[in-house]
Chains A and B, each alone.
Chain A
Amino acid sequence: MSNVTLKVNGQTHTLDIEPATPLLYVLRNDLGLQGPRFGCGLGQCGACTVIINGAAVRSCITPTSSVKSEITTLEGLASNGKLHPLQQAWIDEQVPQCGFCQNGQILTAKVMLDKNPHPTDAQIRESMNATLCRCMSYGRVQAAIKRAAKVPA
């Protein structure tokens, strides 16, 4: 065990943990966050996604000690009490079925749009292809991304 300092959604936390602990369990069990979830523990599905340095990171296979920059989770997406345009698009398009994967869908989409604000259909499919959904809400996810891409930043 040792002290690890993490900045998450604008807040700094110092925690006494085993440094190799996958980030997912620290976010969920030490910081009480519910956005990132365990889906596979293998980095295959995307349920545990967080954003670090502008990249979508699979927190289930990321050692906590390796994180040196601020972490943004689904809870940190809204600002000043206003949902992020992607979150609003998710509601407008009524995207989720069960919703368990949507943390990964939304955050992966955000990283994509931050880099490429007006993606083509093919780019959306490619960028999102490793983010899985077992309810098969894919069509709606893609529609919501296109809707959000039209909203002025």
Chain B
Amino acid sequence: MSVFDSRRGFLKSAGMLVVSFGVRGANAQSNAAAQGPGPYPDPDFHQLDSWIVIHENNTATFYVGKTDLGQGTGTGFRQLMSDELDIAFERTTCIMGSTDITVDQVGSGGSTAMERDSWPMRRVAAEARRVLLEMASGRLGVPVDQLTVSDAVITVKGDASKRVTYGELIAGKKFHVTLTGANVNAVTGQAKTKSVPELKYTGQSPQRDDIPGKVDGSLKWAVDVKLPGMVHARNVKPPFACAKLMGIDEASVKSLPGFIKVVSKGNYVAVVCEREEQAIRAARQLKTTWEKPSAAPFPASEDLFNYMRAATPTSPGRPTVSGDPDAAYAAAVKTIEAEYEVPFQGHTAFAGAHATADPSNGQMTVYSNDMKSYGMRRGVATFLGMPQDRVRVVWMQGPQGFGRTAAEDAGCEAAWIAREIGRPVRMQWMRDEETAWDTKSPAFLVKMRGGLDSEGRLVAYDYNARSCDFNHLGYNEPDTVLIAQLMGSRRARPAAGSAATPSDMYAIPNRKMTGEVVGLSSIWETPLRTGNLRDPNGPQSTFAAESFIDEAAAAAKSDPLEFRMKLIEAGTGDDDGFRRARSMAVLKAAAEAYGWDSRPSPRPVGKGNILTGRGIAYSFRGQSVVAEIAEVEVNRQTGHVWAKRLVCAHDCGLVVNPEGLRHTVECGTLHGLSRAIHEEVRFDTEKVTSLDWFSHPTLRHADVPERIDIVLVNGDPNPKRPDLPPYGAGEASLKPMMAAIGNAIHDATGVRIRRVPFRDDRVLAALKAAGV
């Protein structure tokens, strides 16, 4: 029995199935079976039965339309739903993200798992509890208010001998309860969810159920799918951007062992072979000829920011103005200006894009780690011109997410090739292909200006960002996915892109903030494709804004923490989400954890080879707020920066799983560090030249700080907010890190470096230029 059989079949034997996979839902999900005849209609989110199945042995399986990229969201959903259903956490499993068996909640992205998507889950679980109590009332012959429920067992108050289990009431049957709500996020029954103090599993730290299979080798990943008759495909990418395919010399590979076919349409080329290594070899060996575009598609990476300065915006900024900045600058005793640069940074997922597509039986099943599996399903169906109910995407684990697997490419490629040759196809991108052609986070150029009054207060502030983000890619759109671009089927109007403004609670009375987008000369069929990378604009905008606040503090000869605190304290009134109070709380918590001593930056430059300094930065991401402190050692001989200590004080509202949250925040903080000191896409005027782990480096073991303190500020005993809801936590910890490191380097050396990453050669050049 496979979980991929029809839902009806699944329900019939669900009691048996749950025994077979216990709590290891992730593995049960991945036992690829031969494809049935379909079709695969959408599970109806208005049916309670689409979300929860109760089994004879009094266990429950939850079906949710999300994917868990290893940040423990699946465990969190189980905690919240177990609480609402009143069933022991250990008696539950969670099936996620496969389009034919779980409702469409989009999948993952935007740190919305707990903040938005856990709410319909909680409400349906509460509704299931309510319905089960009604059924028990009928069975036991007492009114509902005479019943009590504990761990899926309903008893009559005062007479524990009268009892019935959830399993006895509903196993093998359906709820047949229709829910209301205009969309999946609004889905609800009649029952109310519990208040925070009533939640029992929420706030505890059960271990993640995906981890054992990840350390003993038993987990079947999307890369592990094997199907009868499956063959292997590899792409042959254009050797430069905007290349036109002029010819394919099939004879160059025809005699290779295992060779099946060269498939091509427009500028898209792939080879198909029986075995994986044969496909790799054939793709390398295939002779193709390409014509260069008439003009260079983009500037070389060293000229990018000059290009961005001179470019005409594709989306002119609409300034947000408060107060009267012009008058404030006129009255200011000191004006400071600075410009910050963040290059394109790659996702550089740990393994290349991959998918396996099965075209049998007139259906198309794609086995994929796409974090937005529902988007991939729509994209594949439209791209192939198939009815959507003939296509399903089975979500399985893969190398991280962070946005690349939402703008995934291999799914459409595998599906197209599978249909071309009529056999199941496994596609995987190679390292150089992935690092060159994956989606990039947009490069940012931010001009800032500030005016200080005679008391050193920041009274005027300009933030003017340009992001190189025109034609920002969406989620498996059939007219922007790379195979569609290469085949020439592309949309008329590219996505506008965005250039975010910073998010803080500084009470600066006169502000002007603008975000403009610029585009490269060529925006199609180029490896410089922008897409969402984990808080898509956040690290860039915050690098500028929080470096600049430090520059203002230094100009005012103030301690950078106190300078920030005063700007926040200068605000008045309370606000939605207690943003002011929570800003102060995280800054204070970070400072306390670090042992911050009050003094202006920079410190007097030391005499030794190693210069030490500390820096702070803070930001909101949505309603989550983070303050980070970095202590760095800068080697003045080599320019090498080591973050010796990091502190992250983090408030994302209600904490569902403290240890899981700590894990996510710790790894996010280090991802921020990696982007601060290592990551940058390099290119000449026609192709990306950073192609592997040396040319697009990443954080390594030796870079890890000696000490990392994660302070979960949530649960602050402010009596005004005992029931703060959960906010997002997947991305916020990345946001201030670049600025915190840059501020720490300045504190240590007196040198302000306004360009990331802080690689050795860049830092050394800046130190030398400043005579340090």
Contact = CB atoms under 8 A, between A and B. Distances in A.
A98 B400 contact: yes
B735 to A, nearest CB: 15
A88 B701 CA distance: 21
A139 B350 contact: no
B223 interface: yes
B208 interface: yes
B362 interface: no
B214 A102 contact: yes
B496 interface: no
Given A34-B217, A34-B224, 5 more contacts: A18-B277, A29-B276, A39-B431, A91-B212, A140-B663
A6 interface: no
Interface string B688-702: 000011100011111
Given A40-B693, A41-B431, A74-B217, A91 B351 contact: no
A25 B702 contact: no
B226 interface: yes
B348 interface: yes
Nearest to A9: B217
Nearest to B277: A25
A4 interface: no
B216 interface: yes
A33 B219 CA distance: 11
Nearest to A101: B350
Interface string B427-444: 010110000000000000
A40 B667 contact: no
Q: Which of B69, B217, B698 has the most CB of A within 10 A?
A: B217
A106 interface: yes
B575 to A, nearest CB: 33
Interface in B651-678: 659-660, 663-664, 666-671, 673-674
Contacts of A139: 666, 670, 704-705, 708
Interface residues of B, number: 62
Interface of B: 69-71, 207-208, 210-212, 214-221, 223-224, 226, 257, 275-277, 280, 348-352, 397-401, 428, 430-431, 659-660, 663-664, 666-671, 673-674, 692-694, 698-706, 708
User: Main SS of chain A's interface residues?
Assistant: loop
B571 to A, nearest CB: 34
Contacts of B215: 74, 83, 87, 90-91, 95-96, 99, 102, 106
Contact of A129 (B216, B277, B700, B708): B700
Contacts of B210: 96, 99
A123 B280 CA distance: 37
9 contacts: A1-B257, A25-B275, A28-B224, A34-B217, A47-B351, A97-B664, A125-B704, A132-B350, A139-B708
A98 B221 CA distance: 11
B397 A21 contact: no
B41 to A, nearest CB: 31
B625 to A, nearest CB: 21
Contacts of A136: 666-671, 673-674, 699
Interface in A123-149: 124-126, 128-142
